[in-house]
Chain A
Amino acid sequence: MSTEARKPPAQIALKIRRILGGKTGWNGVAVQFVFAAILGWIGYEIVSNTRANLENQHIAAGFGFLRNNAGFDVNQTLISYTGSDTFLRVFVVGLLNTLVVSVVGIVFATVIGFIVALCRLSPNWLLSRVGEIYVEIIRNLPVLFQILFWYLAVLAALPNPRQSISLLGIVFISNRGLVIPRPIGESGFEPFLAALAVGIVGALALRVYARSALFQRGQMIRIWPYVLGLLFGLPLVTMLVFGLPFTFELPQLKGFNFAGGSRIIPEFVALTVALSTYTAAFIAEIVRAGILSVHKGQMEAGSSLGLSRGTTLRLIVVPQAMRVIVPPLTNQYLNLTKNSSLAVAIGYPDLVSVFAGTSLSQTGQAIEIIAMTMGVYLLISLLTSAVMSVYGWRVSRSLGA
């Protein structure tokens, strides 16, 4: 009786089967064919119907319309724009407006969120209750409602510019928005910027050097006086040498409105306030969860090693808390960016409002415009999540998890 070893199975065929059909083999391949056929059929239906519909409505498909004149005005533009500019310019203007409201909102939301989280964690009973009430009320009201509340109930109820509320005679709040001083560049502006850049780069280099000295030779170098000197002293010196970098133009009340200064439109104020307070409630809970997730023993272990309380916090507690905090925090930043599209409800000229709203109703190019708008948001989301997965990979690697 021969006991020859059986031949090993053909690995290539197995591999192909695995790649094509996953764990289910040829059954999976068959399922995929059916699925592809259904998808193809749906795709065919959509394309043929859209073609017929566009032909009936006499709309030419394609992105040619982007070169046509827009013919409408936008009440907040970061780049120069007039009604005779193209729809492409409208797209850029809307995109910049979306980005600016998102960035400002994210900054404020982070600050408010951290403050509220610290309030909720505070041993002070009253303050932690205040934080809790804030979070519970704000989180459970729809964000659209809050935007409308700030715009229609708070800002519209403010006095007109002649009776506007003034803060130190510099900033004026009225129902026409917020008027703030405008910086005007002077002769010393470029040297000031250059000195600032040199200072930041120098401070970073010093930090890298100090850390490598600590890790490789165990040598503690005190760098903070030099860092302060670089960050503040150098720009100050350039200011003395080259003159002031910029002066402020103060707003003056003339007639029924303000002259000078720059005006922030009330829509922007309402949207920023609503989005940042709303997202701050979520951020507060995330931060609180992150800090509470670090075990009390970590703090005790740090002090048993002889580290001071601040050092323990900085080196042991915060890094572990950040690991928990950062991914949901980015999610909230994304949510804020996406929620900023609700600006269309109060007429803030963001991407959805000026491009998917006004431009769409003027040109009727629904497919192109909505695809572009969705594509922009999708791109922002995907980029952020890609960055986040890199971050998650690095954190899990550095913590050895």
Chain B
Amino acid sequence: MSDITSSSFVRHDLLTERPAPVKTTGFIGLVRTRLFNSPTNILLTIVGALLLGFTIVPSVKFLMVDAVWTGKDRAACLPENAGFAVGACWPYIQAKLPQLIYGFYPEAERWRVNLALILAAVLLLPLLVPRLPAKGLNAGLFFFAFPVVAFFLLHGGGITGFGLSWTAGLLQLFDDSIMSAGQALLSPSKTSAIAPLLWVIGNLILLVGTAISWLIFPLTWLRDQIQGTGQSVWVDFAITTVVVSLIAFWLGGGVRAGWRTLASSLAAFVAIAIVIKLMGLDHGGLPIVQTSLWGGLLVTLVVSVTGIVTSLPIGIALALGRRSTIPLIRIFSIAFIEFWRGVPLITVLFFATYMLPLFLPGNFTVDGLVRALIGIALFTGAYQAENVRGGVSCDPARAGRGCRCARAVLVEDDLAHRAAAGAAPRHSEPRQQLHLAVQGHFARFDRGAVRFARFPASVVRGSEVVDAVDVVHRLRLCRYHLLYLLLWNVALLALRRAPPQRPPPQLIELHHVR
């Protein structure tokens, strides 16, 4: 016992303090651990410092130290005036700044550009803040109303008619095209070997054309009558308002549930009327500024906003077309997308400038800027289509199954209703399993996925269909919802924000769609 105690060692005094560990935080720590911790790293640090020195020092010298800051124009930057070797010439930029922003837009009219830019900012900013309400209205204003207003603001000019005249004009154009096709088939058929066939087809087409012209005769007659009156815009506007509001009222549910739709439609038309009155569109509008005078930042913004706004609907349509199982639509979408993605933008612009005018009727001239915009819309639309498709197809956990879920729940819901109404429920075994599985999935998906899913399911039927084929026929989706859904999805995609979470599946809402 005592042996052990005597041989055991017990320290009687404290150890001397060891030095504090090397500091690894803060600036000193950073320098020690990340910059000078090994010979290689020291070398790399020197290389990095040299790189920075060779680029930043001359740039700062050029932009700030050697630059000329005061003066009226370029003359101030000449070495003999400044007295030293001159770098950047800021007075020149200052003198040319209006031109860099507006191009050659007439000075007296530049308030219009400013107003359009302010309007865009006012409409865009709340769209980018997720917490603010009324996203649907906001998106509608920005994506649909703003481009029209901006066109009349920037370009100027007025209107001579409204919805009715435009519809009549379009239909007449369509009819003329059909008639000319029929005439073209008839004229060479005298000598051709398959003459009788061509003659029959040509006459058939002519017959169709004549029928259409009789069908649209009331419209064209009404338009001519309206053009005869002094207040053509307002008469036309009133008729369009009444017709469109009535259609909206009817589609919205008639006397039973359509009053809300009627009110919003009337409100929209009142807003349009105010805009027309304010901008004086009914008598000429603002003075016209040719697009050849536009330039600088203005054109950049016009092109990019147009590209953004137009590419999304094109992209969604093409992406859904590419996912469709209908062969012709799928092949067309693939060819269209791959074509525009495979060529450089500049050849697209060449195409829009040189080839597009040849494709249009001879009496129909398109402004140079508009041609470029068409080219850019097609080009960016194809790229956007691949983005949309990537979002839909490569994320099966969200959208792809979401589609199926929405569709399947609709079906099951329909069956449940029939059961409740006394009709014999025909729940087969697999279907019930599907139902359960779907409910399980569905609980995991938020409202946004379902909203997103409903759109493809209703627009392109072939794109996503549940296993049971017969369910397709049970779905009677209201057509007017398409516009609403398009708008919603445009906003949703544009914002890419997570929709608010709501725990239970929105069965009631799905009813509403049906």
Chain A residues packing against B (C-beta within 8 Å): 19-25, 27-28, 31-32, 35-36, 39, 41, 44-46, 48-50, 52-54, 56, 122-127, 129-130, 338-339, 341-342, 344, 352, 356, 360, 366-367, 370, 373-374, 377-378, 380-382
Contacts and interface: CB of A to CB of B under 8 A. Distances in A.
A32 B327 CA distance: 8
B418 to A, nearest CB: 23
Nearest to A55: B362
Contacts of B339: 378
A380 B361 CA distance: 33
A325 to B, nearest CB: 18
Interface stretch (B224-232, B343-351, B441-449, B493-501): B343-351
A370 B351 contact: yes
Given A32-B326, A49-B361, A126 B354 contact: no
Contacts of A21: 326-327, 462
A53 B355 CA distance: 11
A31 B324 CA distance: 12
Interface string B451-468: 000000000011001000
DSSP class of A's interface residues: helix, strand, loop or mixed? helix
Contacts, number: 135
Contacts of B330: 22
Give the top 9 A-B pairs by smallest Cβ distance, nearest first.
A22-B325, A381-B342, A125-B34, A366-B354, A338-B344, A126-B48, A341-B344, A378-B342, A28-B326
B73 interface: no
Contacts of A367: 355, 358
Interface stretch (B176-184, B196-204, B310-318): B176-184
Nearest to A59: B358
Contacts of B361: 49, 52
Contacts of B350: 352, 356, 360, 370, 373
A54 B180 CA distance: 18
A352 B359 contact: no
B47 A127 contact: yes
A46 B338 CA distance: 21
23 contacts: A21-B462, A22-B326, A23-B465, A24-B325, A24-B326, A24-B465, A24-B472, A28-B325, A28-B462, A32-B329, A35-B328, A36-B328, A50-B358, A54-B358, A123-B34, A124-B48, A126-B34, A338-B345, A341-B344, A344-B346, A352-B344, A356-B350, A374-B343
A50 B359 contact: yes
Nearest to B327: A22
B347 A341 contact: yes
A87 B332 CA distance: 33
Contact of B351 (A125, A127, A374): A374
B469 A125 contact: no
A46 B184 CA distance: 14
A342 B349 CA distance: 11
B347 A56 contact: no
Contacts of B351: 370, 374
A27 B460 CA distance: 11
Contacts of B48: 124, 126-127, 129-130
B394 to A, nearest CB: 13
Contact of B343 (A19, A44, A338): A338
A315 to B, nearest CB: 25
A378 B335 CA distance: 11
B134 interface: no
Chain B residues touching A, majority SS: helix
A20 B327 contact: yes
Nearest to A373: B347
Contacts of A127: 44-45, 47-48
Nearest to A367: B355
A130 B52 contact: yes
Contact of A19 (B41, B47, B327, B358): B327
A21 B460 CA distance: 12
Given A342-B346, A373-B350, A24 B184 contact: no
Contacts of A53: 357-358, 362
B51 interface: yes
Contacts of B57: none
Interface in B164-188: 177, 180-181, 184
Given A21-B327, A27-B461, A338-B345, 7 more contacts: A22-B330, A28-B461, A32-B328, A35-B332, A352-B350, A356-B350, A381-B341
B382 to A, nearest CB: 12
A352 B347 contact: yes
Contacts of B101: none
A237 to B, nearest CB: 38
Contacts of A122: 44
B181 A352 contact: no
Contacts of B345: 338
B326 A49 contact: no
A17 B360 CA distance: 38
Contacts of B362: 49, 52-53, 56
B347 A44 contact: no
B280 to A, nearest CB: 35
A143 B324 CA distance: 36
A268 B357 CA distance: 33
B1 interface: no
Interface in B338-380: 338-339, 341-347, 350-351, 354-355, 357-362
B49 interface: yes
Contact of A23 (B325, B341, B355, B358): B325
Nearest to B346: A341
A129 B342 CA distance: 35
